[in-house]
């Protein structure tokens, strides 16, 4: 009885902590890892790297842009999935934890065995504790919101840069450069990119405050 209970609790707690989008730190890749992938940008990325379309014709400015838009669309789908998962992971974990605590509380109340009651109480403490650690150290709501906001900003800035480049001819904006920009657009929607953006913004504000302080002290005298 005790061994089965411990196994179930351990298994559920492990399930709570796995499969979360936040542990990946990035959306699903826009390139396929196997032939069963249903939506990838493989064809468009291959065309950009080779400079040719599926029929072997050299890319023009127009066909280059078609490849870019198609690849960006896949990246947008992947990012949308990732974004929704980031928001949902914490809520899902909290729901599972609450359900487990309720189930073990009821089960503990129904049993007459002191030893079994103790096991249920230990299980409740374990689940509650793991949830608290998740909340405190890993994915607070405010942190997720800040990361998503920064990723959104990074992606929009990169998209604007790509759109500007798409007005150029194929000689001024070759397909290989477009390929690199598409990959950078994908990377803009990752946690690493968001953290770097937040850090850069904070550093910029810090330097601005330092400069403003120095300027003020040059123009004023502290009594």
More confident residue, 128 or 192: 192
Label residue 36 by pLDDT band (50, 70, 90). very low
Q: Cα–Cα distance between 220 and 223 in angstroms, integer?
A: 9
Q: Cα–Cα distance between 65 and 178 in angstroms, integer?
A: 9
Average pLDDT in the chain: 76
Mean pLDDT computed over 148-156 = 94
Label residue 4 by pLDDT band (50, 70, 90). very low
pLDDT score of 181: 97
Whether the predicted pLDDT of 68 surpasses 80: yes
pLDDT score of 119: 55
> For the whole model, what pTM was predicted?
0.62
pLDDT score of 150: 92
Whether the predicted pLDDT of 138 surpasses 80: no
Mean pLDDT computed over 128-150 = 65
Whether the predicted pLDDT of 61 surpasses 90: yes
Q: Cα–Cα distance between 200 and 189 in angstroms, integer?
A: 16
Q: Residue 129, Cα to own-chain centre: how many angstroms?
A: 25
More confident residue, 34 or 204: 204
Maximum pairwise Cα distance, the chain: 81
More confident residue, 42 or 101: 42
More confident residue, 193 or 181: 181
20 touches 89 (CB < 8 A): yes
For 51, other C-beta atoms within 10 Å of its C-beta total 16
Mean pLDDT computed over 9-14 = 52
What is the 3 state secondary structure string of the chain? CHHHHHHHHHHHHHHHHCCCHHHHCCCCCCCCCCCCCCCCCHHHHHHHHHCECCCCCECCHHHHHHHHHHHHHHHHHHHHHHHHHHHHHHHHHHHHHHHHHHHHHHHHHHCCCHHHHHHHHHHHHHHHHHHHHHHHHHCCHHHHHHHHHHHHHHHHHHHHHHHHHCCCCCCCCCHHHHHHHHHHHHHCCCHHHHHHHHHHHHHHHHHHHHHHHHHHHHHCCCC
Q: Cα–Cα distance between 162 and 172 in angstroms, integer?
A: 13
């Amino acid at each position: 009885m005790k061994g089965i209970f411990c196994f179930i609790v351990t298994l559920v707690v492990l399930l709570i902590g796995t499969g979360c989008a936040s542990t990946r730190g990035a959306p699903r890749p826009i390139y396929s890892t196997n032939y069963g992938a249903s939506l990838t940008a493989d064809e468009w990325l291959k065309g950009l790297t080779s400079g040719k379309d599926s029929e072997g014709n050299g890319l023009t400015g127009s066909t280059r842009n078609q490849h870019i838009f198609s690849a960006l669309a896949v990246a947008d789908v992947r990012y949308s999935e990732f974004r929704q998962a980031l928001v949902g992971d914490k809520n899902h974990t909290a729901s599972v934890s609450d359900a487990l605590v309720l189930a073990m509380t009821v089960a503990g109340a129904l049993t007459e065995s002191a030893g079994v009651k103790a096991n249920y109480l230990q299980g409740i403490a374990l689940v509650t504790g793991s949830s608290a650690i998740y909340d405190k150290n890993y994915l607070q709501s405010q942190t997720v919101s800040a990361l998503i906001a920064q990723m959104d900003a990074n992606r929009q800035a990169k998209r604007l840069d790509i759109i500007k480049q798409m007005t150029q001819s194929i000689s001024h904006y070759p397909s290989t450069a477009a390929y690199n920009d598409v990959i950078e657009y994908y990377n803009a929607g990752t946690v690493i990119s968001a953290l770097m953006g937040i850090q850069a913004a904070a550093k910029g504000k810090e330097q601005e405050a330092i400069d403003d302080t120095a300027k003020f002290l040059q123009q004023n005298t502290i009594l």
